[in-house]
Structure 1
Amino acid sequence: MSNKHVLVVDDETNMRRVLEIMLQRMGYCTDSVENGVAALEFLDTRDTDLVISDLKMPVLGGLGLLEKLRAGGNDVPVIVITAHGTVESAVEAMKLGAFDYLLRPFDVDALNLAIRRVFAAGEVLRQNQFLREELDRGWGGLIGSSEPMRQVYEQIKQVAPTRTGVMILGETGTGKELVARAIHRESERSDRLFVPINCAAIPADMMEAELFGFDKGAFTGAVRDRVGKFELANGGTIFLDEITEMPIALQSKLLRVLQEQTVERLGSNRTLELDLRVIAATNRRPQDAVRDQRLREDLYYRLNVFAIELPPLREHPHDISLLVEHFVAEHGGRRARLTPRALDHLQRYAWPGNIRELSNMIERALVLTRGDTLDVEHFPLAASTAAHPVTGASSTSTPPPDLSLGLEHAVEALESRMIRSALEQTEGNKTKASALLGISERSMWYKLKKYGLN
């Protein structure tokens, strides 16, 4: 049985019944009403995937129904059927937004083909919308000519053409999602969707529904069917970012999905076969996460078939000039030159937030400068710590502030260092770090974003 719901609108009782039987045999859920007014009332309270409406009906016919639906902002697809078809009525129906127009008598195959075209077009629109949102969300690119980055490029070339699962390791902000996208783009699945999921950003009680979807009525608040991310990614690639932040109980369900290559929506007994590639990522050491029971050992071995470890920015500082050039163009839309003195400061800075922090810092610098030159004073955080770079995760010392920066920027530099130190001491646990600093979690998230540390 399909999850799709079809509403039949016809003033003839026998025709409504015939259409419902035909649709139910095709596997669709159905309801029926006798005219356009009843259809509008029905659609105000129920979600429907398709309306099949007669053209000529008392009270409100098919054209009137179409007109009122579109005027009210309802874009549900409509197929119009009639025994009294004319070219003029067909043209009018299409102008009003009908998807298709069928003349009676029609056979089951003609109706089935028309319905399949509706749902195929809907899938394309849904994927296009998803892609537009992903493009809007994207930032930066894989940029760098250093030896560490060349090794990453070589690994991408090796694994992309295969069906092998990949585990991407690296600190926050090193570009793990960009590597995952590059693997997808170079694979045989590049014409299908790449669906990213940030396991750290989804509330635990919502994650199962987000991953696997749900049917209407599956739980309180499930007022309509929802396609899960696994179903959406079918045929393409799914990217599970920060996999160690997924609740351990849900990891067992994820493992079963990966082993059986099937998924069921919550509240449904319909099993969907999957054909997708899984790429996972984490900013933790996977072995430590397994030891700390943040990652199931069997899931780790399932995901970690081919590992790619991204270097932190401090290990390839000579790529900074290329990255700055890219981010200047991306954020500024104008030409701005980095002075040699500023480049030296940036290359000696520790970059705890890595490439994402650099992107944020360039955006801020472009706001601070009024000309076409970016100098040391436009990078107060980097300038204040470049002379005292953090060389390892164990460093917690706090160098004295550079008073030439002024009070505001000096305070920001100190605040950024204290947050990094708290995160290091709590192994990246933001809740514990905020408690250690005596601030709320909300304030912590704001400051992480402000300084490019999230």
Structure 2
Amino acid sequence: MNAASKKILIADDDSSIRLVLSQAFTRLGYQVRATGNATTLLKWVTDGEGDLVVTDVMMPDENVFDVLPRIRKERPKLPIIVMSAQNTLLTAVNAADAGAFEYVSKPFDLDDVTAAARRALSRPADTEASKAQARAMRDERLPLIGRSAPMQEVYRTIARLVGADLTVLILGESGTGKELVARALHELGRRRDGKFVVINLAAVPRERVEAELFGRGEGDNGRLVEADGGTLFLDEIGDMPLDAQTRLLRVIDGTEPVINPKTGRRPNVRIIAATNRDLRGLIQQGLFREDLFFRLNVAPVRLPPLRDRAEDIPDLARTFLLRAAREGLPAKTIDQGALDRLKSHPWPGNVRELENLMRRMCALYAEELITSRIVDRELQDHAPAVRAEEGPVTLSTLVERHLASHFADQPDGVPAPGLYDRILEEVERPLIQLTLSATRGNQVRAAEILGLNRNTLRKKIQDLGVEMTRGRR
């Protein structure tokens, strides 16, 4: 069937959008029929018209999400492209849940719509549109906020993954909302009735990671068994020690002998991992298993930093003010000047830094209206106190910056217990790794350079999970 023999049905209450789409599809050689209401669209479909539907969600007579089940019943193989200006995760998930072939956010790029139409019309005739198993909890507050193009891509990815049971790797800078994405995948998916179990590997001492995952015995079965039937979220997977990585790989492969004593079977767990680190770089350093990376990276979700979606900042800021008020902090509003100032900030701590700022301003200022003056004062007070005239940046300065960012990234600005040992370990591991690399794995020479007893160095290599690399510089 060529383009001229295929008909596209367009439904949108905006006459200008109907005109633009009609002209674009006509130029490509398709037949086109357009309407401004859902009732007419449903009649055309019921009468057997059309090879593709391109429709808006909000129509004057009906919400298209109420019409789509009837279309699917009448014409289960008819591809449908859904458009909406309500660019939220819920819209994307509802579109996937209703069996839409594609979801396009408004305002749209015309090339994106025509490309989606070509894909839909080129499918084999006996292939049905994929049906995600997602079930949106319509009355609950959405976990993710933003209508920007980068977030639309995140929503589309989540909508495609909630109905599957694939292992997911969430990539993004600290504070971008990786745990929120993991929770959305769990709560909108088929495992939503099971537990969502979280392990923050950056907050667990390395020597206790395996016990945390697999249990300590005597009734402690570990988080893996606890998550049986649900989802295990491994936050900051890049901090997992190599020995624990090996056991996790065996769990994914099904060769690790872990049994849930309540069922007598292996735990049935979906694994979602997240990291703000460059795992490929860690692989090059011998600190992360390449085979584990490929098993985790089955379905990657990449979260954009806040600086790349500044248009979402007003919605985020207002939402955080409302949340703070519900939690008992003084109610505030924010003016346009303050929002513009927020949009110009680079946000190294991303969404978490913005939320902490909004809560702080609610708590510390008596004014009911947050202005650019208040925002300026807070951003300046919490900016790194490093100037170019201070000369070369020292290791102490870099550590101070890292720690300041680490504190700012934490909920309420307070890190988990055990911070001292974790920070020392962060410095020790690369120091020993680089020294061993420089000495081609010669521990005697490395101990001399480091000023350590050889037995002390050997113990640190074992405790820190440092990979031995011989014959390399």
Which TM bucket (shorter chain)? 0.5 to 0.7
Deviation at 1:365, TM superposition (A): 0.7
Structure 1 residues 374 and 308: alpha-carbon distance in aligned structure 2, compared to 1, 3 A threshold: same
Q: What is the letter of the counterpart of residue 293 of structure 1?
A: G
CA distance in 2, matches of 1:378, 1:265: 56
Structure 1 residues 233 and 436: alpha-carbon distance in aligned structure 2, compared to 1, 3 A threshold: same
CA-to-aligned-CA distance 1:90-121 (integer Å, 9 cap, x gap): xxxxxxxxxxxxxxxxxxxxxxxxxxxxxxxx
Alignment of 1:38-437 (within 5 A): 141-216=143-218, 225-260=219-254, 262-264=256-258, 272-333=265-326, 335-380=331-376, 383-384=379-380, 409=381, 412-415=382-385, 435-437=396-398
The count of corresponding residues between Structure 1 and Structure 2 is 266
Deviation at 1:205, TM superposition (A): 1.1
Structure 1 residues 444 and 329: alpha-carbon distance in aligned structure 2, compared to 1, 3 A threshold: closer
CA distance in 1, matches of 2:399, 2:166: 45
Query: What SS is found at the alignment partner of 2:268?
Result: coil
Deviation at 1:335, TM superposition (A): 3.7
Query: What SS is found at the alignment partner of 1:183?
Result: helix
Q: What is the letter of the counterpart of residue 172 of structure 1?
A: S
Query: What SS is found at the alignment partner of 1:359?
Result: helix
CA distance in 2, matches of 1:339, 1:305: 44
Structure 1 residues 150 and 381: alpha-carbon distance in aligned structure 2, compared to 1, 3 A threshold: farther
CA-to-aligned-CA distance 1:121-154 (integer Å, 9 cap, x gap): xxxxxxxxxxxxxxxxxx9931011111111011
Q: What is the letter of the counterpart of residue 297 of structure 2?
A: N
Q: Is the 8 A contact 1:214 1:265 kept in 2?
A: no
CA distance in 2, matches of 1:450, 1:304: 28
Deviation at 1:442, TM superposition (A): 8.1
Q: What is the letter of the counterpart of residue 353 of structure 2?
A: E
Q: Higher Cα Rg: structure 1 or 2?
A: 1
Q: What is the letter of the counterpart of residue 146 of structure 2?
A: G
CA-to-aligned-CA distance 1:195-215 (integer Å, 9 cap, x gap): 111111100111111111121
CA-to-aligned-CA distance 1:220-270 (integer Å, 9 cap, x gap): xxxxx213110000111111111010011210111111111655389x9x9
CA distance in 2, matches of 1:211, 1:189: 20
CA distance in 2, matches of 1:271, 1:214: 18
Q: What is the letter of the counterpart of residue 413 of structure 1?
A: A
Deviation at 1:453, TM superposition (A): 11
CA distance in 1, matches of 2:374, 2:348: 19
CA distance in 2, matches of 1:448, 1:185: 25
Structure 1 residues 310 and 178: alpha-carbon distance in aligned structure 2, compared to 1, 3 A threshold: same
Q: Is the 8 A contact 2:176 2:305 kept in 1?
A: yes
Runs of 4+ in 1 over 3 A off after TM superposition: 261-266, 380-384, 435-454
Q: Is the 8 A contact 2:407 2:413 kept in 1?
A: no
CA distance in 2, matches of 1:291, 1:445: 25
Q: Is the 8 A contact 2:174 2:409 kept in 1?
A: no
Deviation at 1:271, TM superposition (A): 7.3
Deviation at 1:351, TM superposition (A): 0.4
Q: Is the 8 A contact 2:352 2:409 kept in 1?
A: no
Structure 1 residues 382 and 294: alpha-carbon distance in aligned structure 2, compared to 1, 3 A threshold: farther
Deviation at 1:331, TM superposition (A): 1.5
CA distance in 1, matches of 2:239, 2:254: 23
CA distance in 2, matches of 1:311, 1:250: 29
CA-to-aligned-CA distance 1:409-445 (integer Å, 9 cap, x gap): 3xx4234x68xxxxxx9xxxxxx96x44576998885
Q: What is the letter of the counterpart of residue 328 of structure 1?
A: L
Q: What is the letter of the counterpart of residue 317 of structure 2?
A: V
CA-to-aligned-CA distance 1:16-68 (integer Å, 9 cap, x gap): xxxxxxxxxxxxxxxxxxxxxxxxxxxxxxxxxxxxxxxxxxxxxxxxxxxxx
Alignment of 1:431-446 (within 5 A): 435-437=396-398, 446=407
Q: Is the 8 A contact 2:310 2:343 kept in 1?
A: yes
CA distance in 2, matches of 1:241, 1:452: 18
Query: What SS is found at the alignment partner of 2:383?
Result: helix
Q: What is the letter of the counterpart of residue 308 of structure 1?
A: V
Deviation at 1:291, TM superposition (A): 1.4
Q: What is the letter of the counterpart of residue 249 of structure 1?
A: D
Deviation at 1:288, TM superposition (A): 1.5
Structure 1 residues 257 and 173: alpha-carbon distance in aligned structure 2, compared to 1, 3 A threshold: same
What CA RMSD, in Å, does the superposition of the two structures yield over aligned residues? 3.2
CA-to-aligned-CA distance 1:55-87 (integer Å, 9 cap, x gap): xxxxxxxxxxxxxxxxxxxxxxxxxxxxxxxxx
Q: Is the 8 A contact 1:349 1:382 kept in 2?
A: no
- List runs of 5+ in structure 1 lacking aligned partners: 1-138, 217-224, 385-408, 419-424, 426-431
Deviation at 1:381, TM superposition (A): 6.3
Q: What is the letter of the counterpart of residue 349 of structure 2?
A: G
Q: Paired residue for 1:62?
A: none
Deviation at 1:382, TM superposition (A): 6.3
